Amino acid sequence: MVLGQAQQQEFDAMIRVTVSYPAQENARFDHSYYQQHHAQLIHQQLDAHGLLKLEIDQCLADGAGKAPPIVAAAHLFFADMAQFQAAFAAGGKALNEDIVNYSDIVPVVTISQVIA
């Protein structure tokens, strides 16, 4: 897909923060709580600070149809790194404190620049 100049500018600094939960034997992850409550908390804590979009994944399988390497992921989109940093400075503590309500897995955070 070829983007027009205006569309490309939207992506030039857009930041995607991916919070993933690696699959672990005997680990606990409550997808219902994550999707119904934690997702709402993300919006409550971050929308006013620049969260543009939230996507939640419940992982089903890897490419070979076997158990996935991660059980769930959230993708949070911000206009730029400064908005991401401000949002997490404001709401990150509440989000981190909520993890114990749905999982005992330590999440892995990856920050990416959206390029297309």
55 closest CA partner among 37, 73, 70: 73
Q: At residue 67, what are phi and psi to the nearest 5 degrees?
A: -55, 140
Over residues 64-93, mean pLDDT: 97
> Encoding tokens for residue 14?
């857009």
CA gap 71, 19 in Å, rounded: 11
pLDDT at 13: 81
CA gap 31, 20 in Å, rounded: 13
Contacts for 86 with CB less than 8 Å, ≥ 6 apart: 49, 50
CA gap 97, 59 in Å, rounded: 23
pLDDT at 12: 60
Please, what are the domains in the chain?
A: 5-113 (3.30.70.100)
According to DSSP, the residues that pair with 74 across neighbouring strands are: 19, 56
pLDDT (tens digit, 9 = 90+) per residue, 62-76?
A: 999 999 999 999 999
Dmax (CA) for the chain in angstroms is 49
